[in-house]
Amino acid sequence: MATEIEHVKSIKMGTRVTALYENDIRELRKHAPEVSLITCHDETLLTSMFPGMDGALIGFAGCIPELITEAWKAMKAGDFQKIRQYDDLIFPISKAIYGGGQPSGEAHARMKEALVQRGVFTSALMRKPVLPLDQEEKDWITQGLKDSTAGDVSAEVAKFKKEEALVK
C-alpha cells in the first residue's frame, strides 16, 4: 500500500509484537525502500531503533532530549557500547513514565511531572479525565530522573527564553 499512495513519505511503526514489527520493517524495506520508517516505541526506544529505523516520533523525547539525541547518534554510528550506555540511562525514566507498559493518559501526566522536576514546566496540572499524580508516582519520576542522570535544566530554559525574547 505504501507504494500505491504516492504521498506516503514516512510510516510511523507502532506494532508492539516484536516479531511482527521486524517482519513489517523488512517487508517495507523490500517493497518500499524510499519510504522513511520511524519508531514510536517510547517504552523500548533503542530496541525499536535497532532494526534500522530512519528516526523516531516519541512522546517523552522532550523529557530527556539530550539522552535520546546522543543515543540516536550512537545508533546511527553503530557504536554498540554507547548504545548500551544510553539504553541504561534512558531505561529508568522510561520505566518511571511508562511502568513497562504502553503510553497512556497517566504516562502523559508523568511526562509533565518530569518536565516540572527538570525545570522546563512550572505546573504539572493535567486536564480531566487525567487525575493528578500521587506522591508515590512523583517519587518514581524523581528516582527515574536521578538514575537517568537527567538533572534540572531551568537555567538553560531561562537562557533560551531570554534569547527568544531578544529575537522578537
What confidence score (pLDDT) does residue 100 get? Answer: 60
To the nearest 10°, the Cα dihedral for 124, 125, 128, 133?
Answer: 50
CA-CA distance, 96 to 142, in Å (whole number)?
Answer: 9
Domains of the chain: 10-167 (3.20.20.70)
Q: Which residue has cell 499512495?
A: 5
Backbone angles phi, psi at 13, to 5 degrees: -90, 115
**pLDDT value at residue 22:** 96
| Half-sphere exposure of residue 158: CA atoms within 13 angstroms, side-chain side | 7
Q: Are 92 and 99 in contact (CB under 8 A)?
A: no
Closest CA to 51 of 61, 41, 60: 41
In order along its 168 residues, the chain shows pLDDT tens digits of 677 888 899 999 999 999 999 999 999 999 999 999 999 999 899 999 999 999 999 989 999 999 999 999 999 999 999 999 999 999 999 999 998 666 667 899 999 999 999 999 999 999 988 888 999 999 999 999 999 999 999 999 999 888 888 887
Whole-structure pTM value: 0.88
